[in-house]
Amino acid sequence: MKAYKHTVQYYETDKMGITHHSNYVRWMEEARIDFLKQLGWDYARLEKEGIISPTVEVSCKYKRSTTFSDDVFIIVKIREFKGVKLILDYSMKNAEGAVVAECESVHCFISKEGKPIRLAKEFPEFNKAITDNIED
């Protein structure tokens, strides 16, 4: 998969000129949407199929600061998927390749009515796209 690139915007920085920590979570979401698109399942397609994938947990370890106009490259990898819960890892690196943050998000899959979806049974094509991209 191709890394997602985000350029730090001025409004994302704080009074010290450093990117505010809350923005990294937003970047994770941007990268996750891009990752799904690369899998062939952009979020518009998921919603059209009746699949909603809420975030149920997020964590982030900050390693280095970023500042206005820095490019941040976000590599998304599937750590675990057992049909119901999807765990994604995010490695965020600056233009020099130094890790700026290591993050994780956990997602489930539900219908528009809020009922859990078992992808293998109800959406086997999407299930395969995920399982084919699990990295060891």
Instruction: Tell me, yes or no, whether 52 lies in a domain.
Output: yes
Summary mean pLDDT of the chain: 96
Average pLDDT (62-86) is 96
Q: What is the pLDDT of residue 83?
A: 86
In three-state secondary structure terms, 30 is helix
Instruction: Tell me, yes or no, whether 136 lies in a domain.
Output: no
When pLDDT is cut at 50, 70 and 90, the band that residue 28 belongs to is: very high
CATH code of residue 85: 3.10.129.10
Instruction: Tell me, yes or no, whether 122 lies in a domain.
Output: yes
Instruction: Tell me, yes or no, whether 77 lies in a domain.
Output: yes
Q: Is residue 84 pLDDT above 90, yes or no?
A: no
C-alpha 1/C-alpha 60 separation (Å) is 21
Sequence letter at residue 29: E
The domain tally of the chain equals: 1
Instruction: Tell me, yes or no, whether 45 lies in a domain.
Output: yes
Give yes or no: 14 in active site.
yes
C-alpha 67/C-alpha 115 separation (Å) is 41
Of the residues 14, 42, 70, 132, which is catalytic?
14
Q: Is residue 136 pLDDT above 80, yes or no?
A: no
C-alpha 24/C-alpha 12 separation (Å) is 10
Instruction: Tell me, yes or no, whether 65 lies in a domain.
Output: yes
In three-state secondary structure terms, 32 is helix
Instruction: Tell me, yes or no, whether 21 lies in a domain.
Output: yes
**Which residues lie closer than 8 Å to 46 by C-beta, 6 or more apart?**
36, 52, 53, 126
The residue range of the domain holding 76 is: 4-131
